[in-house]
Each structure stands twice: as structure tokens, then as C-alpha cells.
Amino acid sequence: MKQPTLGNPQNTIAVLQKYNFVFQKKFGQNFLIDTHVLDKIIRAAQISEDDCVLEIGPGIGTMTQYLACAARRVIAVEIDRALIPILEDTLDGYDNVRVINEDVLKVDIAKLAEEENGGRPVKVVANLPYYITTPIIMGLFEKHVPVKSITVMVQKEVADRMQTGPGSKDYGALSLAVQYYARPYIVANVPPNCFMPRPKVGSAVIRLDLHEEPPIQVKDEKLMFRIIRASFNQRRKTLANGLKNSPELDFEKEKIEAAILSLGKGASIRGEALTLAEFAALADRLS
């Protein structure tokens, strides 16, 4: 296998100029130009020679080259048609890579895992397009596609939201959803100068190890997430008012208040004070 050639500013600029590539803001294109960061992501993802990796948004193929050297198979899904001839060039000689020109949100990942990995769980590794971080990650969780871990570059603020617990201003529906499906672990903070062009925000690499079994038991998972969304939609309201006013829920005020009291919480408690286990208990009492 060829050693990676991309990952530094000079070679990235040479490829971009060769193809007169124009960055598309709408696709969240910020290409990595720092080999240390690339090495860190590959190490954090713990890829072995048996692994099948799904890369979302390969760009010009920088991280794809690194992944191809570490994994058995790499499937890279890229939406921008202008990048496909570039990828054919930069990935020439990496014969374990398949590039798919598609919107990742429309790809049947379970089917891909079946075709490419005999249905066994794949590892997702990506420098994500920030405008669709949440739909991509929630899609992987909710569709129950076979995924072992997700190691991704996201906005620093989003990584913080995924990892935090009750009481923090960053705690919310995303924290609870991520922690229900996976164990989050922030690997590194990455400054804007590691990308071309530079993003306006700081970034972080986060690794999510998917639980084999959820960490808590709940009778009706969908109801629990409706309750969670309702609690955080109206952050400044009490939990009872948030649930009462939600168009997604239809419980009487007395029932909501009794359920909250039975958790040992006061009437003025806010949703941001509840743990995942407490949301599950609340959903069970209301279901």
C-alpha cells in the first residue's frame, strides 16, 4: 500500500490547483492539512486490518489514504461530484477503497455493511460536514445500523454537548441521545489552522463507542425521547410546564406532576437537572 501523500498544506494546494477546485460552502468543506491530527484520528479510531471503515465526506481523499493503510476496506461517501475525479487520482493505488458519489443521508448503510462486511459492524470515521452533524449521527443510531464506533471531527461546542451531564449549560437532548446509544470520549481539540479553508469555530475529535445494550432500561424509547425533547424545547420553563405545553405529548397536568413527584423531585425542577435514568423512569411512569 502506498504511504499517504496528502495531509500537508503544500500537497493539498497542488491537488486543488491541478483541478481548479472551488470550495463549496454549502457542503461544509474544510479539508484537513495537519498530519498530526490525522494520525491522532486514526489512532483514536483503533482500526485494525480486519476492519471495514465508512468515511463520510472524503473531500480530496486525505484521511481516506490514512484509513486505506490501516483498514481492510474503506467505503467513502462523498456528495460533491466535482471531487470524484480528484479522488480517482489521489486514491489511485489504494485498491481497498470504494468511493460512492451520494448524499450520506440517503445511503442505506445497513445494506453497505451487509455487502462489504458480511453484516458485521463497521467503524465510522470522518471529518464531518458540520451543517449535518446531528442528522448524520442520529441517523446512524436510530436506524440501528451495524456500527461499532464513530470517531469524528465535529464543532467543539457539539462535542461538549455530546459528552456533558446534568447541570451544565451544554446538557440537552443531544447529550441524552448520544449517551443512550454510546459512550462518548473527547479525544482532542483541534484549532482552525489545521483546516483549509479555516472554519470560524473550534473543532474537536470525539469517539463514540456504541453500547451493545442501552445503559438504562425504558419501556417506550420513543416516548422517552419525546419527553426529553419537550423538556429542552422550553429550557427556561419547569419540567412540568415543558411537558404540559408540548404539542408532541398529551398528558394531564396532574399526571405529569404526580410522575415528577414520584421521582423524588420538587415541582419546580427543570429538565436539565434530570439524568438519563431519571428520564427513563419518568417515561415509564407516564407510559
* Segment lying near ligand SAM (by CB under 6 A), choices 58-66, 141-149, 221-229, 245-253: 58-66
Q: Which residues pair with 152 in a beta bridge?
A: 126, 206
The residue (of 56 and 159) whose beta carbon lies closer to ligand SAM is 56
What's 37's DSSP letter? H
Virtual CA dihedral for 175, 71, 5, 34, nearest 10 degrees?
A: 20
- The span from the CA of 129 to the CA of 131, in Å, is 6
In this structure, are residues 67 and 47 in contact, taking their beta carbons and an 8 Å threshold? Answer: yes
Q: For ligand SAM, what does the binding mask look like between residues 97 and 116, x meaning CB under 6 A? A: ------xxx-----------
Of 90, 117, 127, 238, the one binding ligand SAM (CB under 6 A) is 127
- Tell me whether residue 4 or residue 58 sits nearer to ligand SAM (CB atom): 58
- Asked whether position 79 contacts ligand SAM by CB under 6 A, the answer is yes
Residues with Cβ < 8 Å from 164, sequence gap 6 or more? 170, 171, 175
The residue (of 29 and 179) whose beta carbon lies closer to ligand SAM is 29
Decide: is 175 part of the binding site for ligand SAM (CB under 6 A): no
Does residue 80 touch ligand SAM according to CB under 6 A? yes
Binding to ligand SAM in span 130-159, by CB under 6 A: 132
Does 87 sit near ligand SAM (CB under 6 A)?
A: no
**Is residue 182 part of the contact set for ligand SAM (CB under 6 A)?**
no
Does 271 contact ligand SAM by CB under 6 A? no
- On whether the CB atoms of residues 55 and 63 are closer than 8 A, the answer is yes
Burial pattern 114-137, b for ≥16 Cβ within 10 A else e, equals eebbeeeebbbbbbbbbebbbebb
Among 34, 42, 45, 59, binds ligand SAM (CB under 6 A): 59
> In whole angstroms, what is the distance from residue 37 CA to residue 204 CA?
10
Sole binder of ligand SAM in the list 15, 53, 57, 207 (CB under 6 A) = 57
Binding of ligand SAM by 63 (CB under 6 A): yes
Tell whether residue 201 is a contact of ligand SAM (CB under 6 A): no
With beta carbons less than 8 A apart as the criterion, state whether 230 and 244 touch. no
Which CB sits closer to ligand SAM, 124 or 286? 124
Using the structure block, give the residue that is written with the C-alpha cell 427556561. Answer: 236
Q: Do residues 135 and 184 touch, judged by C-beta distance below 8 A?
A: no
Amino acid occupying residue 33? I
Q: Binding to ligand SAM by residue 242, rule CB under 6 A?
A: no
In the list 90, 94, 129, 187, the residue contacting ligand SAM (rule: CB under 6 A) is 129
| Residues at the contact surface with ligand SAM, assessed by CB under 6 A | 27-32, 56-59, 62-63, 77-80, 83, 103-105, 127, 129, 132
